[in-house]
Structure 1
């Protein structure tokens, strides 16, 4: 008879992990039974979003790096022996956090993985680094950023796998890492800097090119300040709707999804003087409005108009974060504060909590962006295209990126993909990228959402089945308690939409827009 979780989940049964450069401060083990969790919606590699009846052992390891004065926690959740699939998974973070806690841990336990996360010594589930960025004004905590960016991820894998082996008296047969956004950056960091840690990595919508895209996140606000123009959200949404309508049909199917933003030639200046509705009020498109959305779509430029970074595709909901305003009843609007890029520019680059981001000239904005790249690229840029050691170890890296990503422009992933392939024309053997039209940042959007991604990376690693496409589904058709399509048998056979191996792209050939057979992947 298999021992109960309550009988075997004890810190006394788990030897202290050995981590070079670290001192273990304590180990705690807590049995958890009949646990339930509702994630609300599919996230990252997981399709199922409601979980119940889980039993697992929660082992928490606290450690420090002598001389740094830090305290880091690695949490490892271990399913019952009969439910363990023999594999280990490193869980990831988001925003300014190294972990998202239950959002990434519980789906993994439900799927049978022993899973570990790390807080990297930073607050959990935070979109701000304000509490830990500065040792004092003018002095960013570089050592802590370095720990957060990479070192703690490596230590997470060492500790998590050590705990797993001790608990089951057996090393995991395979180790994986999965994450989106910050988690996608973490996955890429592991492939670049610690390629020995994981057999397979799913790094989705990755926050790589850190300095460039963080400055790019602030770009819409910089333009609003320069124009002294802060539009109501309904105006920006009207521009988005007009551009989407103009470019939706480029893939052959009118479905509210722009699958080929690079082919979209919509000119916002052509609508100046024409009308749109803001709720029930008639409004007119203006020159300043056209200038704003055009700048957001084309991306940051310096004072002479030279390219700095990529913009957001035309069907992206830029009102949600990057161009978010709040308005009073008179129609007067102000920019809504947003810690992600503001913390980066103010606390890390300027290193001044009182630095005024509202009155920068274009030159000052550009210089600040360049300073971030110069100071921090080697620490957290995570854009090294040399994956040769990762390749030589036989590892696999899979990524998808939502084309309508409202946080991280999809072209940053295309840029990285191109640079990897410049070094190795055969990089598809170990690094594959897929684009998801209409999908937002790590979450479903207007377009169908990638499903079964964890199984896809496992099949690639363990069976040598390299994915030629991913399958995306309409989330409304997915049972949140099973992660499978509602219905049985032939009713669901062939459902979904193919996400093509980049640089191939999706093309509609006719028929039901929810059927795989209605699409093909074609060369750009």
Structure 2
């Protein structure tokens, strides 16, 4: 699939949510040979209630779908056409919860169409699952697959479902969203697959990005023996804290009394790229290793730029704002509590500030305060993110961790049970992710190393790949992983663990750009000769991960 340039997208909202949907399209694999061509009829009476710990089946509906199409998402997804599958819709409940959860399972219609494998698919934003949009690509590549709504509306941007009519928190639905519905979906999907084909899946996988990435990690931590392999990209590991971090740029600008517009933030990002692009050995429009980039926005004081036809001179106050925003949420006592986006990454996702014709600046609501506004403050009519004080911000931050981290985080570093189950976790994260800082994944990986014996030991079951220049689940100037699920399958099924992850994109001139992304903590370096657009001109250099873990030393990215 060829991704269109960012400029061709029809709505900036695509930046936030729909890149999650790309992920399933990259998981393209060949179907396995099947010996038994028989399936049971695709009707409700063919299926018995699966055993789901802590849940009760309410109803089962099954219907054949032939020549079924999933429409394209303009600028993002190609259409999926002519699908033939058995559509099984199961509703279940958790006694005492009064919830009604939908689990959709699509089963390739004939035995010949199935590759003997099951795929559980994650959600995005505030949606536990994406249902048809994610199921289509999985079935098109011969998997049986399941997705769930978690018992609440499938809405990526709204968290209204987290509140009852009296504004009390719907803790049962939050538990579904956090972890419970994920296990339910896997139990249901594997059981229905076995009943339909009269054979258990030979292998079962997870596939998700962003929220779906967090979910994959949560499954590894809490349900370690349910799956053989987990593909989890750009994970929102500390989801409540992440959503609070979205408010940091506004708080900095309000506290420092200087508003920096989106145009100006983008200019600073371009300047960082201009300075640090060459550090990997080649000018290719990508900062190869953001940790080597020591860009200081304060060196640009006095330079001029143009926004909306207005010439602007960079002031000390503007540069200080950019510097502090890129430090990430930091307490008044100097303690950094959440990683920042890297220099060269656009902050326009988090900022909604404009320069008026008279030169004045307006700080607008960025629209990303869903968690604080809805969950913490119960849709308070008096809440205004633009007026949030530092005291209020830090009070909400503490409340976030104490009340909601336990139910929605996916950052427990003890993966020993997952390791002992023989399962594999493959993860990747774009270094220009403009929503979830890639450092959150780096830090988690390093915590796992300290917990479980160092980098080499952890590499036996958990590998991380960073994608330089790639934004959230895709886009950006960098090469995007091309077939990560196939790489995971080779690891799980053939014990072939890869040190690189094949990736590609297209340049502004529409030329194919390829890279072999490096196993963390190694980074890409240009060899000094050859076409910079070809993976063969680059090598992986640096770090033996164990070196940073000896003698109880802290890892370089530890919070």
Partners in 1 of 2:375 and 2:55 — Cα distance?
A: 26
Indicate the SS of the match to 1:358: helix
Specify the alignment match of 2:43 in structure 1.
10
After superposition, the C-alpha distances for 1:105-163 in whole angstroms (9 at most, x for unaligned) are: 111111100000011012114212023335534x3222221121001100000111111
- How far did 1:435 drift? 0.2
Specify the alignment match of 2:269 in structure 1.
240
Partners in 2 of 1:209 and 1:176 — Cα distance?
A: 23
* Equivalent residue pairs, number: 502
1:438 to 431, 445, 469: 469
Indicate the SS of the match to 2:408: helix
Indicate the SS of the match to 2:92: strand
Specify the alignment match of 1:255 in structure 2.
284
Matches within 5 A, 1:450-461: 450-461=481-492
Match status 1:512 vs 2:542:
no
- How far did 1:71 drift? 0.9
Specify the alignment match of 2:25 in structure 1.
none
Contact 1:42/1:444, CA 8 A, preserved across alignment: no
Match status 1:521 vs 2:540:
yes
After superposition, the C-alpha distances for 1:194-232 in whole angstroms (9 at most, x for unaligned) are: 011110000100000223322222211222332344433
Report the CA distance shift for 1:395/1:41 in structure 2 as closer, same or farther (over 3 A). farther
Report the CA distance shift for 1:247/1:27 in structure 2 as closer, same or farther (over 3 A). same
Specify the alignment match of 1:136 in structure 2.
166
Match status 1:98 vs 2:148:
no
Partners in 1 of 2:156 and 2:384 — Cα distance?
A: 23
Partners in 2 of 1:406 and 1:469 — Cα distance?
A: 24
Specify the alignment match of 1:288 in structure 2.
317
- How far did 1:403 drift? 0.3
Partners in 2 of 1:281 and 1:290 — Cα distance?
A: 18
- How far did 1:331 drift? 6.0
Match status 1:420 vs 2:420:
no
Deviates more, 1:427-436 or 1:323-332: 323-332
Matches within 5 A, 1:106-255: 106-134=136-164, 136-137=166-167, 139-255=168-284
Contact 2:70/2:136, CA 8 A, preserved across alignment: yes
Match status 1:498 vs 2:526:
no
Match status 1:267 vs 2:296:
yes
Deviates more, 1:271-280 or 1:148-157: 271-280
Which residues of structure 1 form unaligned runs of 5+? 480-485, 487-491
Which residues of structure 2 form unaligned runs of 5+? 1-34, 544-559
Deviates more, 1:56-65 or 1:409-418: 56-65
Specify the alignment match of 1:30 in structure 2.
63
Report the CA distance shift for 1:411/1:57 in structure 2 as closer, same or farther (over 3 A). same
Deviates more, 1:106-115 or 1:96-105: 96-105
Report the CA distance shift for 1:402/1:42 in structure 2 as closer, same or farther (over 3 A). farther
2:330 to 289, 301, 306: 301
Deviates more, 1:48-57 or 1:395-404: 48-57
After superposition, the C-alpha distances for 1:238-279 in whole angstroms (9 at most, x for unaligned) are: 111111101111111111111121111111112122101225
Partners in 2 of 1:187 and 1:227 — Cα distance?
A: 39
Report the CA distance shift for 1:252/1:471 in structure 2 as closer, same or farther (over 3 A). same
CA RMSD in angstroms, aligned pairs only? 2.5
Partners in 2 of 1:145 and 1:328 — Cα distance?
A: 41
Contact 1:127/1:339, CA 8 A, preserved across alignment: no
Specify the alignment match of 2:419 in structure 1.
391
Contact 2:162/2:171, CA 8 A, preserved across alignment: no
Specify the alignment match of 2:375 in structure 1.
348
